């Protein structure tokens, strides 16, 4: 769940003071208000609002804000009005007054537009978006952030565009789409860094960006991010004249990110130095940074083999958190505790925590499974377009769904049985290590159940692989080959072609996510491509029609697919194409490999009613065209180093082109060599075509 905003709030409240006799002064000002007019009345209301921050009465604080805003609007004091509206919105957000945000913000935004206070306008809009994220209305938030970005782009307002990308990153992070989230944070930073002086929002982005890189274990990237983060903080604190307390908060987040990167890379000495800096800056262990300091200090002690100290620190962190408050955080802390207890040979207590972790993970997984089933139900509501070809493809989709549901039922039954046996065994445990090992043996049946599920999923994989073509046309004027390798038993990549006369349609796509929901979405997109290509539509029209079919108001899960569609005239070599948010293909021309520059259409499935733009290349005769998914360029080895776009271009240029099949097999071997035994992190799909004369 989204962490509450705090850095911007701190910077906004710099200079606000509290007086010992705040209540008496407030009463005095209240008595004088009827006699005050103009600027004097406005200043008095502003002082009352400042003094209200010491009051525990929420209604009184809101009343003070409302009086100040009403008077600022009455006197047409635009900047005063904007600052007050922004302060009230932040107060609503930080005190969980979500209904008040929905009530006031739309009207506030209309007024701010009238006053042309654009930065405050976009910031208030940002809190409205955060409210949607906090209430898990991700699909609604995605549509709203697109409106925000378009509005800011129309006005050429960099702050609005940057904060829109930042909000998009928050949405994708909460949807567990880390790749899109990282990309959005990066774009937000790049835009906001062009503003002088840089806004305080940049500090928030660095914090969230760093958290995401840590969660996804991209420690080298996190280490690189801290370098530019430090430069930003040094300039920002100096130019904005930030007070020491607020500066300490900003630096504590930076040093925490440095410690996370160092410990992730097992650089314990650097990690210890960074954690010392964090402890020097935080007032207590009870706020977010203090809690994180406890966890990573325990991690440092664990890495150094000081298990007693690690246990003491883990105890302090565990006491701060009830498992019902945040099950995911509790699992993380309890998992650390299991590692510590195992190293202390306290196997019985470790086993007890293992059992609790299993129960909590089952609870979390149960929620995810329900969400997946909701995604499936949404997907099956896609408009069938009343075409005959749809029935055959739908049967295949239902077979996959049936196998998956059966597999889930089998897994659930065996998991329940295994859990019951494990609980009974735990009640009979004594202090000896031998008895603990006997209890662990009860988990073997769960492994057997997993093997049965994997067998069923392999069948589902075979059915899915049957949906993509495995044979290709044999013509003297055409060389075409494609392959797909799912990262899991079933995946979300797709490719296809449709040949009619001298017209060749090609398609390649990548569905958001992996596994069962992605495979179902992939089946729908593949079916729609072949159906619409058979009608002779242009690629841009096919994308528009598929988007209308796969998106809509009821698509609250916000699944989407990036696609590249092309139509090639085999007589002339003319290429018409439409790129829907996909990786740019590579065109090999006269021995030089280059990415095709393309219009950045949106991915398919997010927003209904979009009109996709098509493009063309006059002649690609004798120029191999290579299309791929990011399972190629983002393939990672054991050190989490990516294959990269640069390496792809280098290989395409330096290796002699023999055939499309040879090119794809050669690149697949290069990816395997790069992984060096690491598990694939994404599906890998490639398509290559060459028109010959």
For the segment 418-457, what is each residue's pLDDT rounded down to a tens digit?
A: 556 555 545 554 444 454 444 445 545 544 545 555 554 5
Sign of CA dihedral 242, 244, 246, 250: positive
The strand pairing partners of 687, in sequence order, are 482, 627
Reading the block at residue 122, the tokens are: 């976009």
- Separation of alpha carbons 429 and 129, rounded Å: 51
Peptide bond into 197 cis (omega under 30): yes
What is the pLDDT confidence band of residue 329, given thresholds at 50, 70 and 90?
Answer: confident
pLDDT the model gives residue 582:
92
What is the pLDDT confidence band of residue 486, given thresholds at 50, 70 and 90?
Answer: confident
Q: Is 279 helix (H, G, I), strand (E, B) or coil?
A: helix
**Range with top average pLDDT, 279-293, 420-434, 564-578:** 564-578
The per-residue pLDDT for range 365-408, each reduced to its tens digit, is 544 434 434 433 333 333 333 344 445 455 555 666 666 656 56
pLDDT the model gives residue 601:
86
**β pairing state of 503-511 and 684-691:** unpaired
The per-residue pLDDT for range 168-192, each reduced to its tens digit, is 999 998 888 888 899 999 999 999 9
Q: Residue range 131-135: average pLDDT?
A: 85
The per-residue pLDDT for range 457-467, each reduced to its tens digit, is 555 555 556 67
pLDDT the model gives residue 4:
39
pLDDT the model gives residue 3:
40
- Separation of alpha carbons 13 and 84, rounded Å: 11
pLDDT the model gives residue 371:
43
Look at phi and psi of residue 320 and say left if phi exceeds 0, alpha if psi is from -120 to 50, else beta. alpha
pTM over 0.85: no
Mean pLDDT for the chain? 81
Which own/partner pairs from 529-537 qualify as long-range (CB within 8 Å, at least 24 positions apart)? 529/494, 529/496, 529/498, 529/505, 529/565, 530/389, 530/496, 530/498, 531/385, 531/387, 531/389, 531/390, 533/498, 533/505, 533/507, 534/389, 534/498, 534/500, 536/500, 536/503
Residues with Cβ within 8 Å of 616's Cβ and at least 6 positions away in sequence, in order, are 574, 575, 576, 577
Q: Residue range 200-215: average pLDDT?
A: 91
Sign of CA dihedral 299, 305, 306, 309: positive
Half-sphere exposure of 432 (CA within 13 A, CB side): 4
The strand pairing partners of 588, in sequence order, are 593
The per-residue pLDDT for range 335-354, each reduced to its tens digit, is 888 889 888 888 888 878 88
pLDDT the model gives residue 424:
57
- Separation of alpha carbons 141 and 223, rounded Å: 31
pLDDT the model gives residue 284:
84
φ/ψ of residue 620, rounded to 5: -115, 20
**Range with top average pLDDT, 31-45, 462-476, 647-661:** 647-661
Contact 234, 41 (CB under 8 A): no
| C-alpha distances out from residue 466 to 182, 392, 510, Å | 34, 12, 17
Reading the block at residue 589, the tokens are: 């021309």
Q: Of the ranges 335-339, 548-552, 667-671, which one carries the lowest mean pLDDT score?
A: 548-552
């Amino acid at each position: 769940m989204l962490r509450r905003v705090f850095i911007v709030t701190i910077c906004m409240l710099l200079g606000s003071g509290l007086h010992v006799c705040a209540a008496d002064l407030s009463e005095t000002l209240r008595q004088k208000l009827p006699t005050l007019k103009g600027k004097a009345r406005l200043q008095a209301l502003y002082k009352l609002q400042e003094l209200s921050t010491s009051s525990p009465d929420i209604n009184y604080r809101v009343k003070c804000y409302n009086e100040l805003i009403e008077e600022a609007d009455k006197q047409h004091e635009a900047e005063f009005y904007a600052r007050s509206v922004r302060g009230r919105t932040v107060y609503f957000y930080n005190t969980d007054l979500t209904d008040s945000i929905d009530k006031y913000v739309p009207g506030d935004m209309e007024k701010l537009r009238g006053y042309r206070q654009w930065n405050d306008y976009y910031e208030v809009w940002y809190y409205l978006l955060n409210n949607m994220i906090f209430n898990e209305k991700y699909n609604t938030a995605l549509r709203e952030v697109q409106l925000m970005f378009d509005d800011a782009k129309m006005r050429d307002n960099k702050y609005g565009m940057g904060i829109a990308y930042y909000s998009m990153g928050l949405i994708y992070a909460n949807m567990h789409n880390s790749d899109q989230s990282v990309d959005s944070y990066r774009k937000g930073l790049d835009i906001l860094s062009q503003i002088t002086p840089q806004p305080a929002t940049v500090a928030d982005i660095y914090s969230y960006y760093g958290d995401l890189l840590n969660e996804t274990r991209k420690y080298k990237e996190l280490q690189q991010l801290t370098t530019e983060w430090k430069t930003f903080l040094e300039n920002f604190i100096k130019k904005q004249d930030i007070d020491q307390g607020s500066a300490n908060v900003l630096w504590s987040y930076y040093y925490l990110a440095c410690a996370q990167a160092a410990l992730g890379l097992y650089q314990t000495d650097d990690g210890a130095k960074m954690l010392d800096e964090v402890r020097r800056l935080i007032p207590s262990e009870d706020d977010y940074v203090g809690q994180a300091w406890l966890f990573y200090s325990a991690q440092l002690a664990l890495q150094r083999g000081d298990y007693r100290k690690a246990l003491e620190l883990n105890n302090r962190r565990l006491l701060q958190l009830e498992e019902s408050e945040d099950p995911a955080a509790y699992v993380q802390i309890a998992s650390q505790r299991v590692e510590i207890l195992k190293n202390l040979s306290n196997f019985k207590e470790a086993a007890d925590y293992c059992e609790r972790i299993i129960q909590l993970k089952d609870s979390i997984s149960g929620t995810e499974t329900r969400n997946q089933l909701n995604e499936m139900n949404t997907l099956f509501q896609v408009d069938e377009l009343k075409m005959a070809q749809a029935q055959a493809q739908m049967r295949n989709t239902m077979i996959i769904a049936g196998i998956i549901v059966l597999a889930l039922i089998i897994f659930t039954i065996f998991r329940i049985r295994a859990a019951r046996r494990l609980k009974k065994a735990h009640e009979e445990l004594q202090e000896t290590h031998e008895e603990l090992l006997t209890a662990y043996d009860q988990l073997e049946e769960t492994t057997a159940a997993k093997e049965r599920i994997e067998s069923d999923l392999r069948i589902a994989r075979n059915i899915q692989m049957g949906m993509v073509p495995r044979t290709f046309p044999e013509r003297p004027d055409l060389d075409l080959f494609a392959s797909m390798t799912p990262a899991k038993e079933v995946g979300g990549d797709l490719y296809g072609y449709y040949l009619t006369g001298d017209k060749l349609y090609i398609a390649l796509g990548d569905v958001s996510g992996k596994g069962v929901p992605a495979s179902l979405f992939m089946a729908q997109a593949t079916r729609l491509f072949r159906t619409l290509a058979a009608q002779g539509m242009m690629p841009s029209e096919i994308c528009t029609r598929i988007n209308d079919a796969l998106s809509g108001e009821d698509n609250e899960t916000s699944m989407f697919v990036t696609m590249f569609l092309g139509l090639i005239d085999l007589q002339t070599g003319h290429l018409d194409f439409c790129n829907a948010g996909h990786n740019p293909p590579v065109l090999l021309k006269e021995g030089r490999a280059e990415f095709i520059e393309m219009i950045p259409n949106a991915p398919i499935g997010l927003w209904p009613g979009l009109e996709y733009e098509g493009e063309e290349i006059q002649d690609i005769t004798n120029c191999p065209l290579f299309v791929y998914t990011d399972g190629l360029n983002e393939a990672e080895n054991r050190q989490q180093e990516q294959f990269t776009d640069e390496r792809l271009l280098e290989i395409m240029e330096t290796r002699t082109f023999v055939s499309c099949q040879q090119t794809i097999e050669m690149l697949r071997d290069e990816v395997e060599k790069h992984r060096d035994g690491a598990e694939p992190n994404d599906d890998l799909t490639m398509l290559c075509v060459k028109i010959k004369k």
